Amino acid sequence: MSESIDLSLIQSNKCFGGTVYKYEHYSPSLKCRMRFNIFLPPNAPLDSTTKVPVLYFLSGLTCNEDNMITKAGAQRLLSEQGIALVTPDTSPRNTGIPGEDDIWSIGSGAGFYVDATTDKWKEHYQMYTYIVSELPELICSNFPINKEKSSVFGHSMGGHGAIMIALRNPGIVSAFAPICHPSECPVGTSAFEEYLGPNKSNWLDYDPTELASNYQSEHVNILIDQGSDDAFLKEGNLLPDHFVAAVENSKNYITLETHIQPGYDHSYWFVQTFINDHIDFHAKFLKS
């Protein structure tokens, strides 16, 4: 492990022959301490010279680095496939920003994976830079990870983040019940205005639907699962139909597979039911 990185081990737990490690580190881009979990499969212990593919999972509103890795049941199949998993936190914490803990959809646990530009948030809330640049560099420098074999998936706000990142940095992506059009849904517009200001033109680079509607770059493969009984869907906060329509404009560059799962809601009961499908989807590309 690199001695130049401020990286502290918090705990480790054996799991399906591999190990889940929790670390804390200082983030220069976020100007605060952050935590993440990393699962290393049995074929890639910490001291291994064998480098394995990695999946980054972005969690949703109110979540932290623990929700997915403790609730989704992903480690069994990841262990069999020989793929690592990284679960970062969803926002900076304890920054001293007034009101950062007051609203569930803005501030702590609600970074929306954007680089904030408003005066209140821009010093700490640089989550896009953290997820796309800083964290992968830290992971690949300190763990047996093949930096050329990585992809991203996520849930809800994290699904928005995963698709947005994959469209800006072309790759393989999947999502559970993503916030597909944050510029047009209540929970998204309030967050975007807070972090990026009232000018909607500044929101477009962080909106999956807006990015997809004009996408003409390297080919992107996307898998989306959506529960039919999802309260956020019924409230108009996900808008998957907007994304599907946008992809039609870029169908030569985007391959989209969507599944509506009857009777499923927005919870991790839904995520864990279909997690193996998503791991198989990524493994097909990561291990090719």
For the chain, the structural domain boundaries read 2-286
Helix (H) or strand (E) holding 136: helix 135-142
For 184-215, the pLDDT digits (tens) are 999 999 999 999 999 999 999 999 999 999 99
For 227-272, the pLDDT digits (tens) are 999 999 999 999 999 999 999 989 899 999 999 999 999 999 999 9
Give domain 2-286's CATH superfamily: Alpha/Beta hydrolase fold, catalytic domain (3.40.50.1820)
For 77-101, the pLDDT digits (tens) are 999 999 999 999 999 999 999 999 9
Q: How confident is the model at residue 5 (pLDDT cuts 50, 70, 90)?
A: low
% of the chain with per-residue pLDDT over 70: 98
Helix (H) or strand (E) holding 166: helix 157-168
Checking if the pLDDT of 3 tops 70, the result is: no
Question: Which runs of E-coded beta strand occur in 28-140?
Answer: 32-40, 52-58, 84-88
Q: How does DSSP assign 9-38, residue by residue?
A: EEEEEEETTEEEEEEEEEETTTTEEEEEEE
Please pick, among 156, 174, 183, 250, the residue that the annotation labels catalytic. 156
Question: pTM, whole model, 2 decimals?
Answer: 0.97
Q: How confident is the model at residue 288 (pLDDT cuts 50, 70, 90)?
A: confident
What 3-state DSSP class applies to 74? coil
Please pick, among 89, 115, 225, 230, the residue that the annotation labels catalytic. 230
Q: Give catalytic status of residue 181 as yes or no.
A: no
Distance separating alpha carbons of residues 53 and 269, to the nearest angstrom = 26
Distance separating alpha carbons of residues 40 and 189, to the nearest angstrom = 37
Q: Give catalytic status of residue 133 as yes or no.
A: no
What is the per-residue pLDDT for 6?
87
Who's near 153: CB < 8 A, 6+ residues apart?
55, 56, 57, 58, 159, 162, 173, 174, 175, 176, 278, 282
Please pick, among 160, 181, 266, 282, the residue that the annotation labels catalytic. 266
Q: Give catalytic status of residue 217 as yes or no.
A: no
